A and B are shown apart, each in its own frame.
Chain A
Amino acid sequence: MSMMHASQVGAAPSTAHLMRWVIAATLPGIGAMTFYFGLGVVSNVLLAGLFALVAEALILILRQRPVRPALGDSSALLTGVLLGACLPPASPWWLIAVGVFAAIVVAKQLYGGLGHNPFNPAMVGYALLLVSFPTYMTLWSPPQSFSAETLFNETLWAQVIGTLPPTKLDALSGATPLDAFKHKGQAVLASEFWASQPLPEGTLSAWRNVALAWLAGGLVLIIKRIISWHIPVAMLGSMTLIAALFYAGDPSHFASPLFHLLTGATLFGAFFIATDPVSAATSKRAKLIYGAGIGTLVIIIRTLGGYPDAVAFAVLLMNLCVPLLDIYTVPRPNGHSKTADKSMPEGPL
């Protein structure tokens, strides 16, 4: 019976600490987003976090499980924060609520709660919203430099009442760089596309800086050993490689690897989503394959599929593969000869 615990002797964080560390590490990313997209980002995150806690508590009461320890582990809060951070600024409250419901109730608790969910809850919520409410999910206002006006724009009010005035819709549907590039059309060469200044001033650099802020938070997590490097490195590595292959084949129609890395949810996804331990593979080898799979899928869907960004779908698809990965990467225990244990790969599950 072990009476010493790494987290009690300060050698490693406990599960609750892990969750809180990840939440803390989202701050640079959320800060940068707020800087460029206004307080609607903060309100998204706060609302989603709050909804997540409420949803978790309610469902635990219904399932007649102790509420306090589950809320105490902060995992629901984390799911809410991550989902909130993916949504367009100042999304309507009901949109957030639906997303959180899908994440916490359906994806997490109906599967048995923390540790039992095969799919990343935040990404289930996000994917559901993207499929069901595509208009609302693409309302990314053009980034603006920080000012009082951006802080308190009318969209915040729209979030509260839950609808947007139709006149505003047009002004708001500023595209993300990935969106724009996706819809440039076959006839337009990449060079012409960029020359035409398809995005409002500063959009690209805003998205890049946001991505770098997420990277900063992610590096903190790796340095603090909250997450291991395997998944992010494998995911970013495979994205770079596959994107480079496409780009080398036809630079006039495919985006550069750097573009893929610095736009959309790439870095956020690599450090904060793909690394969710519950829905990811466990062994080092399986993690590398898992990360590489996500990276590959992201580029394939972005380039050949119907969605401009694809981190959520790529993660969910690879979540599906985790049981397989876990089985086929079972290490050979000590003292078992290489050839003898034919039974191992069939393994559990």
Chain B
Amino acid sequence: MPAYEFPGGIYPPERKTHSNQAPLQAAPLPALVTLPLKQHAGNAATPCVAVGDDVKVGSLIAQRNGMISAHLHASISGTITHISNQAITIEADGHDSWQTLPPLDWRTDSPEKLLERLDSGGLAGLGGAGFPTYIKAQVAEHHPIDTLVVNAAECEPYITADDLILRSYPNDVLEGAQLIARLCGAQRIIIGIEDNKPEAISALKQALPQIQHPATIVLKVIETRYPSGGERQLIKKVLDRDVPSGGLPADIGALCHNPGTLLAALHAVRDGKPLVERIVTLTGETISAPGNYWVRLGTPVGTLLNSVGLMPDRLHQVIVGGPMMGTPLTTLNSPVTKTTNCLIAASVTELPPAPMESPCIRCGACEHVCPAQLLPQQLHWYARAESDSTLAKLNLFDCIECGACSYVCPSFIPLVEDYRLAKQRIRLKQIETAKSEHAKHRFEFRQARLAREEAEKQARRQARLAQHQKPAGGSTGNHATPEVDLRSLRIAQAAAKAAVKKAEKVLARAAEQDPKQRFDDLETQLATAQENLKAADARLAKARASTTQKETP
């Protein structure tokens, strides 16, 4: 099958051999983990344990809060020693005893059960923004999906986690892909992988023939060019479809997952293992045993790097993620999270700090490499001038922050930083302007909650009444009204259900489009719709109770 082209792109030095020579290993168990409550897109999880509680690996310690959020589980067995509004700290007891969920079979168990498992397993996208997996898998409710694209391009320099995952667990990844394909209704799975991973490609080729059911799996080897692993770029490359601006892959019938997420999804379903560990590439010139490691979430970066032979005197900076899109760490106490795919402990010669920026000379290099075909140089200009309306016209929010423009800029202008700041500023502004709107929505929510509580109270009373009166028998009053009542209540309940679905869809879309946006308002609106639905349910129940009560004689 041919590969299609996306525009732009760069060929930075790969530096992957540093970490892809050693086999996958397990990092030593940490004595202490700090688990941030927000390791995913959306709301932070709400702690459901107390200081002093004993937990096992896999015990639920914080619950999903709202729709766009994820559960959090203990990653070591031990005692909860600290809970802040940022994170939960656990001290290890050294036993590593597990608490798993009952195993499920992705082929036979019902989709609801499987989705529920992805949710209760705390799964979030392990590649990028940490988008909750169960939401993404539900996308089929709103969009017909024909193709699941497995994003194994891993185009950033240094990172080899997906490479090692595919070499070590080709069957599991493919099964995970089948699982997700089943949930979203895709009949076809395409694996997009760059041609610089020959071992992973041959491992996949061996595994492919056994796992061709229910969806057919196709392997597409593509040229190594950054950023072919961008969702839009990969979809263009393997499917020749353009994701519309401001749209989602789902709009064109595609869904994208990376191998790590698929592996974790399978483990959650088949083995009942919540997301408590992940594979992290540990690399850079200042560690002596670079490679890929199974790491428990919450492990402090410093401890982890020390366990693979960090040479502190040569260390210049630690980067989370790749050198193109990652961020430098300010402290080695930061923990590994669900989205940490790579840690680069770089020496100063390896990734030297950028020299001071000089003025833009309009060389156009940035424009030639931009995979989104934007005008980075003009974006930079207007981002610094804070002229947001022009930025919107220049499609700032189409920028995937790949950093190709910064990479080539001969003047060392931190272009992506400018864009991130501008986006952040615009997001805040949007929240600010919609403040009164939000207040109104919160008021509506309170009203809805009160109405629901009232309706439920009445329903309970009616139910009690019905029980008491049943043995006594006898009916008074007229039979026509409850019928009408029941019908209109049923209609109201259906409408409330539809409203919930709609609010869910709007929220899921918004969250997927811009996972860094805050969704409080949409979450409030969803909660209101849910309250309304509950109230409608209660009213219906009440009406039913009173009808039965009247009809029993």
Identify which of A5-13, A198-206, A310-318 touches chain B: A5-13
Set of chain A residues within 8 Å of B371, measured between Cβ atoms: 334
Cβ-defined contact, B373 with A332, below 8 A = yes
Is B354 an interface residue, CB under 8 A from the partner? yes
Is B221 an interface residue, CB under 8 A from the partner? no
Cβ-defined contact, B327 with A7, below 8 A = no
The 8 A-B residue pairs with the shortest CB-CB distance in the complex, in nearest-first order: A2-B403, A2-B406, A115-B359, A282-B364, A335-B245, A277-B363, A15-B410, A4-B323
Set of chain A residues within 8 Å of B411, measured between Cβ atoms: 14-15, 115
What 0/1 readout, one digit per residue, does chain B (338-354) give for beta carbons within 8 Å of chain A? 00000000100001101
Within 8 A of B (CB), among A1-46: 1-9, 11-18
Q: List 6 other contacts, CB 8 Å, given A1-B416, A2-B325.
A: A1-B325, A1-B420, A2-B407, A6-B410, A11-B13, A14-B411
- Known contacts A4-B157, A115-B360; A334/B232 CB under 8 A: yes
Set of chain A residues within 8 Å of B398, measured between Cβ atoms: 333-335
A338 to B323, CA, bound (A): 35
> Least Cβ distance of A208 to chain B in Å?
31
Identify which of B374-382, B457-465, B491-499 touches chain A: B374-382
Set of chain A residues within 8 Å of B375, measured between Cβ atoms: 282, 330-331, 348
Identify which of B387-395, B435-443, B545-553 touches chain A: B387-395
A116 to B359, CA, bound (A): 9
Set of chain A residues within 8 Å of B325, measured between Cβ atoms: 1-2
Cβ-defined contact, B359 with A114, below 8 A = yes
Cβ-defined contact, A348 with B390, below 8 A = yes
Is B294 an interface residue, CB under 8 A from the partner? no
Q: Which residue of A has the minimal Cβ distance to B363?
A: A277
A113 to B359, CA, bound (A): 8
Cβ-defined contact, B358 with A9, below 8 A = no
Interface residues of B (CB under 8 A from A): 6-7, 10-13, 157, 232, 236, 242-247, 319, 323-328, 346, 351-352, 354-356, 358-365, 367-368, 371-375, 377-378, 382, 390, 393-395, 398, 403, 406-412, 414, 416-417, 420
A17 to B362, CA, bound (A): 15
Within 8 A of B (CB), among A59-94: 69, 73, 75
A334 to B382, CA, bound (A): 20
User: Which residue of A114, A115, A287, A333 is within 8 Å of B245 (Cβ)?
Assistant: A333
- Known contacts A1-B417, A2-B403, A2-B416; A17/B410 CB under 8 A: yes
Is A343 an interface residue, CB under 8 A from the partner? yes
In the complex, 20 of the A-B residue pairs with CB atoms within 8 angstroms, ordered by the A residue number, are A1-B327, A1-B416, A4-B407, A5-B354, A5-B407, A5-B409, A8-B352, A9-B12, A12-B410, A14-B410, A15-B363, A18-B363, A114-B359, A284-B364, A284-B368, A333-B374, A334-B371, A336-B395, A337-B244, A348-B393
A280 to B367, CA, bound (A): 14
Set of chain A residues within 8 Å of B367, measured between Cβ atoms: 282-283, 331
Cβ-defined contact, A3 with B359, below 8 A = no
User: How many A residues touch B, CB cutoff 8 Å?
Assistant: 45
Set of chain A residues within 8 Å of B346, measured between Cβ atoms: 3
What 0/1 readout, one digit per residue, does chain A (261-293) give for beta carbons within 8 Å of chain B? 000000000000000011010111001000000
User: Which residue of B356, B362, B412 is within 8 Å of A115 (Cβ)?
Assistant: B362
Cβ-defined contact, A2 with B351, below 8 A = no
User: Which residue of B6, B324, B410, B414 is within 8 Å of A18 (Cβ)?
Assistant: B410
Set of chain B residues within 8 Å of A249, measured between Cβ atoms: none
> Least Cβ distance of B132 to chain A in Å?
24
Interface residues of A (CB under 8 A from B): 1-9, 11-18, 69, 73, 75, 113-116, 228, 277-278, 280, 282-284, 287, 330-337, 343-344, 346-348
> Least Cβ distance of B480 to chain A in Å?
55
> Least Cβ distance of A287 to chain B in Å?
8
> Least Cβ distance of B358 to chain A in Å?
5
A116 to B377, CA, bound (A): 12
Cβ-defined contact, A347 with B403, below 8 A = no
Cβ-defined contact, A114 with B407, below 8 A = no
User: Which residue of A330, A332, A335 is within 8 Å of B247 (Cβ)?
Assistant: A335
Cβ-defined contact, B368 with A2, below 8 A = no
A113 to B360, CA, bound (A): 10
A6 to B351, CA, bound (A): 11
Set of chain B residues within 8 Å of A5, measured between Cβ atoms: 354, 406-407, 409, 412
Cβ-defined contact, B408 with A12, below 8 A = yes
Set of chain A residues within 8 Å of B247, measured between Cβ atoms: 335
Cβ-defined contact, B354 with A278, below 8 A = no
Q: Which residue of B has the minimal Cβ distance to A227?
A: B363
Q: Which residue of A has the minimal Cβ distance to B377?
A: A282
Cβ-defined contact, B365 with A12, below 8 A = yes
Cβ-defined contact, B358 with A69, below 8 A = yes
Cβ-defined contact, B393 with A8, below 8 A = no
Set of chain B residues within 8 Å of A15, measured between Cβ atoms: 358, 361, 363, 410-412
Set of chain B residues within 8 Å of A282, measured between Cβ atoms: 362-364, 367, 375, 377
Cβ-defined contact, B393 with A333, below 8 A = no
Cβ-defined contact, B351 with A278, below 8 A = no
Cβ-defined contact, B407 with A6, below 8 A = yes
A69 to B324, CA, bound (A): 26
A336 to B351, CA, bound (A): 36
> Least Cβ distance of A120 to chain B in Å?
12
Q: Which residue of B has the minimal Cβ distance to A347?
A: B393
Cβ-defined contact, A334 with B414, below 8 A = no
Cβ-defined contact, A334 with B6, below 8 A = yes
User: Which residue of A4, A11, A13, A348 is within 8 Å of B324 (Cβ)?
Assistant: A4
> Least Cβ distance of B401 to chain A in Å?
9
Cβ-defined contact, A3 with B326, below 8 A = yes
Q: Which residue of B has the minimal Cβ distance to A16?
A: B358
Cβ-defined contact, B361 with A278, below 8 A = yes
> Least Cβ distance of A343 to chain B in Å?
6
User: Which residue of B327, B364, B414 is within 8 Å of A283 (Cβ)?
Assistant: B364
Cβ-defined contact, B412 with A14, below 8 A = yes
Set of chain B residues within 8 Å of A13, measured between Cβ atoms: 410
Set of chain A residues within 8 Å of B6, measured between Cβ atoms: 334
Set of chain B residues within 8 Å of A114, measured between Cβ atoms: 358-359, 361
Cβ-defined contact, A115 with B244, below 8 A = no
A310 to B414, CA, bound (A): 39
> Least Cβ distance of A30 to chain B in Å?
23
A11 to B369, CA, bound (A): 14
Set of chain A residues within 8 Å of B365, measured between Cβ atoms: 12
Cβ-defined contact, A1 with B328, below 8 A = yes
Cβ-defined contact, A343 with B408, below 8 A = no
A284 to B244, CA, bound (A): 25
Cβ-defined contact, A334 with B373, below 8 A = yes
A228 to B364, CA, bound (A): 10
A8 to B326, CA, bound (A): 18
A11 to B324, CA, bound (A): 15
Cβ-defined contact, B403 with A6, below 8 A = no
A347 to B358, CA, bound (A): 26
Set of chain A residues within 8 Å of B359, measured between Cβ atoms: 73, 113-116
User: Which residue of A8, A16, A334 is within 8 Å of B7 (Cβ)?
Assistant: A334
A8 to B355, CA, bound (A): 9
Q: Which residue of B has the minimal Cβ distance to A18?
A: B410
A254 to B173, CA, bound (A): 73
